[in-house]
Every structure is written in structure tokens, then in C-alpha cells.
Amino acid sequence: MRENYVLHKLHSLSGIIPVGFYMAQHLLLNSFSLAGPSKFNGVIGFFSNMPQHVLLLLELVAIWIPLAFHAVYGLFIVARNGDNYSKSAYKYRENRYYRWQRWSGVLAFFFLCFHVTSTTGFAKARGHLVIEYDAWHSLLTHNGYVFFAIYALGMAACSYHLAYGIWNFCIRWGITISEASQEAMAKVSAVAFVLLTVLGVGALYGFINPVFQQQEAPVEARSSSSLAPASNAYDSSAIRFR
């Protein structure tokens, strides 16, 4: 299979619109966890109350189809193109971007597979849905914060892939032609990477913030069993909105 100019352009575009836009707003909505359980569950409740056929259509058109294309064709590009960074010959900034863009994409692919099968409709079909605040708290604090570390690493990979995907997109689409404009966009991408990573990790911290646990304990008379994950962390019967 040969690389295709049109597919390359569409692959670049899909990484920004709608996949990149969805990721940014997804992290922003998840950051409501920093405001407490009721605020985050309110966001979840908004989407849950939407007509299911409308929500399904939006997910297919704006998320799943573009994401599947971007991921599959991206893996094809990675498999077909070798690493072009070398300290002896190819040691330019662009070569480093090329390497980390592809490595972060592969890591993001496996992370998203884990995320989707653990926390969305796939998990719901198995009766192990993780979506509301308490369930996220249980998941991220399970086994010594192993899942928190996995999500933080995956979030950083996705953030880097999107941030420097913007840099690559601007070159591929002829937006930044001069060296000066590419240098400026590289700085924008660096800032975007930091902001997205901070936003994502901040959202994760919101789920484990001990302040919220102390605030809710007297009201809901929580026992230690409410924070015990294992099978309970994925128990769909625990999903509720306040």
C-alpha cells in the first residue's frame, strides 16, 4: 500500500478537527473535577440527559469515525516510515519532532484503547462502567495510584501528539512557510503541550483531592468500603448523579 497525498492531508486535518478539538474540550470538561464531585457529575448528567440517538450520532461523526481513521492511518505511516533522527547526521529540531510525534502517537493509541474499553460504552456493555466522580476516584487510587500514573503518562503523550501535530499541520497545509513562522509555531506548540498536560493532570488530581473526600464524608457517611475499587470501582450500580 502506497501513501496517498489526499489521505495524508485528511489525516493531518482529522488530527486537528475534530479529534484535536474534541480532546481539548474533553480535558476542559474533565477539569470540572477540580470544582468537586457535584460539578463534575453535573457535566456527566448533561450528556446523559441528551436524546441517545443524538448523542450516538455526534459520537460517531465527531469522534469515533475520525479517530479510527486518524489512528489506523497514523499507524500505517509509522510502520512505513523509519526514524530519521540521528545525533551524527539528522540532529535537527524537526527530526526530533518527527520522532516524538510518532512515538507519542503509538503510545496514545494504546492508551486510548485502554481508556475506551475501561470507561465508556464498551465497559458499560460488560456492566463495568467508570464515569461518575466516585468511580473515577476509586479507579485512580486503586493499587497505589497505578492507574493515576498510567493516565498521567497517557495524557502527556496525547497532549504532545496534539500540540506538535498543530506544528506539523501548519506546515503541511502551507500556513507556516517561512522558517520564522515555523519557529514561532514551534513555540506555540510547546506552550500548548504544557497547557494541555497541566489541564489533563489537573483534572486527574481533582478526582483524588482529599479535600473533597473530607467534605463529603460527614454528609454521605462514607466508609472505607466506598473507596475500595476492585470490582466495586466498575460497578455500574454505583453510578449516580447528585
Q: What is the predicted pLDDT for the residue at 151?
A: 95
Whether the bond into 51 is cis, omega within 30 of 0:
no
Q: What is the predicted pLDDT for the residue at 78?
A: 85
Intervals of the chain under pLDDT 70: 1-3, 82-91, 120-130, 213-242
5-238 maps to which CATH number?
Answer: 1.20.1300.10
Rounded alpha-carbon distances, angstroms, from residue 202 to 37, 87, 98, 153, 234: 14, 35, 28, 13, 23
Task: In whole angstroms, give the CA distance from residue 88 to residue 8.
Answer: 29
Helix axes 65-80, 5-16, angle to 10 degrees: 130
pTM: 0.79
* Type of residue found at 64: W
Task: In whole angstroms, give the CA distance from residue 121 to residue 99.
Answer: 33
